[in-house]
Structure 1
Amino acid sequence: MSRKILVTGATGFLGKALIKCFYNLPNTSVVAPLRNMGDDFPEVVSKIYIPSIDDSTDWTESLSGVDVVVHAAARVHIADEDSAQSLEEFRAINVQGTLNLARQAVQAGVRRFIFISTIKVNGENTPPGCAFLADDIPKPVGPYAISKYEAEQGLLKLANTGAMEIVIVRPVLIYGAGVGANFQQMMNLLKKGAPLPFGAISNSRSFVALENVVDLIETCIDHPCAVNQIFLVSDDNDLSTTQLMRRLITYLGVKTWLIPVPVGLLIFLASLMGRRSIAHRLFGSLQVDISKNQQLLGWTPPVSLDDALSLTVQHFLDARRS
């Protein structure tokens, strides 16, 4: 039996990987709503122009014949997140835009709606030795996390009516070939080979390879036990920031000395420079427990953390050479 999948955020880091996965599945066609019709996708992917995502977007053409929606598009950053209007700016896309799409998906007869949320809905940090569970009471911090939580709540209310099946996936930090942002900056910093004061960080953080997120989402497309559930996703292999850096140093093939400077001193210095939030991400713990995925879906990460890190670094080095 054939099926049709709509993927929003198709030009993003995760969206591109989802598109590539889905169009290679048997009896599956893929729809990619795009703001720029010049974006390069295989001919087997149906491209439909969508200028923006908000509460007025018309999804009629995009949703025609669609069985499953994977909603990966979101507003992640704005220029001034501390402004009084920041939460409303996030809500416009992440809440109103999401629920508008979901309501139109119901009208179009879509069977299942998979919403890509964020671990930040659970919170920013976990105590040492503890881990977030998918069914913990949410504690979102900041306008982005709050907006994603509000979208989740709206979708779950829709699910309770029986109008459409909902699946919510909350990834931790995603890395993989072509990763940008902080992970890429870390590799750039380590590649320089200069001594760095990060040799004594004993936190624990969960990470997830791009391939593992995609595999879980693919599982959730049809699995009967995924209906109206929330799942966290990680590689199930937590590392301290120091351990992560040491593995990256090995794969980068550089000689970088990580000096064991006390974490308290690093946090103090970061605070003086106005970088306290970055310090919490580097030095704090954030662990997730993904046992629910195994119990309900029989799912475990197919790609190991070390294999994924090696591939990530190799792509990074190849890109630098080219």
Structure 2
Amino acid sequence: MRILVTGANGFVGRHLTALLVDQGHWVTAAVRREGAAPPTSIAEMRVVGDIGPDTDWDGLLEGVDAVIHLAARVHVMRETGPAPLSRFRQVNVLGTERLARAAARTGVRHLVYLSSVKVHGETSPSGAPFTEAMAPAPEDAYGISKWEAERALAEIAAETGLGVTVFRPPLVYGPGVRANFGRLVEAVRRGVPLPFGAVQNRRSLVYVGNLADAVATSLLRADAIGQTFLVSDGPPLSTAELVRSIARAMHRKPRLLSIPPALLRVTGALTGKRAEIGRLLGDLAVDDSLLRSRLAWQPAYGLEEGLAATVRKTPARSRGVHRI
């Protein structure tokens, strides 16, 4: 297939384009600016500038069979400035709508959109993982913009016949991961005592190789069109179990302190980190049985394999922000 991938030189994009090339597809990488490092072995790279309501897609979509839309304005902690939702909408909603209409107009058959579990909210109900059938309830500007983009794509699909598939991944990890997961890996590597030994929450993860494999699988399945899929590595983990698994991948002993979660929440409130602590302690689990049953999909990599690859290549200092 001839495939256009937006955001191809990002964290997920690099892994996905490498897989698509290995599978024999002709991949065009759409990147934001000149000088961007190209993903490995792609057929061609095209600069599109900032993605938004005025992006010029002319000439990029002719002869393309499928578009995978990864590029987005991502969630940034403590973002300041006026009208943050407006800025998210410019890229994530209006930019997505512009691309989808151009794709439909030029005869692209299938568009795969990378949304986010944050469409469902920040925490899943206790003992009840998110499913695709649950009503969306995004709580922040990023999640709202992703949900609005999904609705815009559904309208365009109904109007034009463009085939659309949506993925809502939870936290994505893998080689090169940054932000909170990268900092957690660094803390375990340095032997920092972590106060999560008593935390019994349930959180889903997805290895970037598994996410890439699920997206690539959907391109080849007609029954993926019109569907929204949650995706994960498998059963959710507690934060304590995740720390132990990371330490095991490093052949280290984890240093976990059993601090009562209630005390951690109080500490978060007193230090201005209520939201961060809440995410570490709360549930965010997904049920991806629809993806597994409908597409006969199984993760290509197990948790231990994914974590081993991650800890080998995660930088010693990880300060960037990556959240899907």
Q: Normalising by the residue count of structure 2, what TM-score does the alignment of the two structures yield?
A: 0.93
Q: How far apart are residue 101 of structure 1 and its match? A: 0.5
For residue 31 of structure 2, what is the aligned residue in structure 1?
34
Identity in percent: 39
For residue 91 of structure 2, what is the aligned residue in structure 1?
93
Q: How far apart are residue 82 of structure 1 and its match? A: 5.9
Task: Summarize the Cα distance change of 1:134–1:86 in structure 2 as closer, same or farther, 3 Å threshold.
Answer: same
For residue 215 of structure 1, what is the aligned residue in structure 2?
213
Structure 2 residue runs without a partner (length 5+): 318-324
1:84-132 Cα distance to aligned partner (Å, 9 max, x none): 4100000000000000000011111100010000000011111221110
Give the alignment partner of residue 72 of structure 1, picking from 53, 70, 73.
70
Measured in 2, the distance between the counterparts of 1:211 and 1:156 equals: 27
Measured in 2, the distance between the counterparts of 1:272 and 1:80 equals: 17
For residue 16 of structure 1, what is the aligned residue in structure 2?
14
Measured in 2, the distance between the counterparts of 1:33 and 1:283 equals: 37
Q: CA RMSD in A?
A: 1.7
Q: Normalising by the residue count of structure 1, what TM-score does the alignment of the two structures yield?
A: 0.94
For residue 229 of structure 1, what is the aligned residue in structure 2?
227
Structure 1 residue runs without a partner (length 5+): none
Q: Is residue 2:204 matched to residue 1:241? A: no
Task: Summarize the Cα distance change of 1:320–1:286 in structure 2 as closer, same or farther, 3 Å threshold.
Answer: closer
For residue 268 of structure 2, what is the aligned residue in structure 1?
270
For residue 123 of structure 1, what is the aligned residue in structure 2?
121
What letter is aligned with 2:167?
A: V
Q: Choose between structure 1 and 2 for higher RCO, CA contacts under 8 A separated by at least 6 residues.
A: 2
Asked whether the 8 Å contact 2:2–2:64 carries over to 1, the reply is yes
Measured in 2, the distance between the counterparts of 1:114 and 1:288 equals: 20
1:8-53 Cα distance to aligned partner (Å, 9 max, x none): 0111100111111111222x21111122333234454211111110
Task: Summarize the Cα distance change of 1:127–1:44 in structure 2 as closer, same or farther, 3 Å threshold.
Answer: closer
Query: What SS does structure 2 have at the residue aligned with 1:63?
Result: coil
Asked whether the 8 Å contact 2:38–2:45 carries over to 1, the reply is no
Asked whether the 8 Å contact 2:249–2:304 carries over to 1, the reply is no
Q: How far apart are residue 144 of structure 1 and its match? A: 0.3
1:33-79 Cα distance to aligned partner (Å, 9 max, x none): 12233323445421111111010000012212111000000001458
Task: Summarize the Cα distance change of 1:42–1:195 in structure 2 as closer, same or farther, 3 Å threshold.
Answer: closer
1:230-276 Cα distance to aligned partner (Å, 9 max, x none): 00000112110001001112222334421101000001001111111
Measured in 2, the distance between the counterparts of 1:109 and 1:152 equals: 20
Greater CA drift, 191-200 or 174-183: 191-200
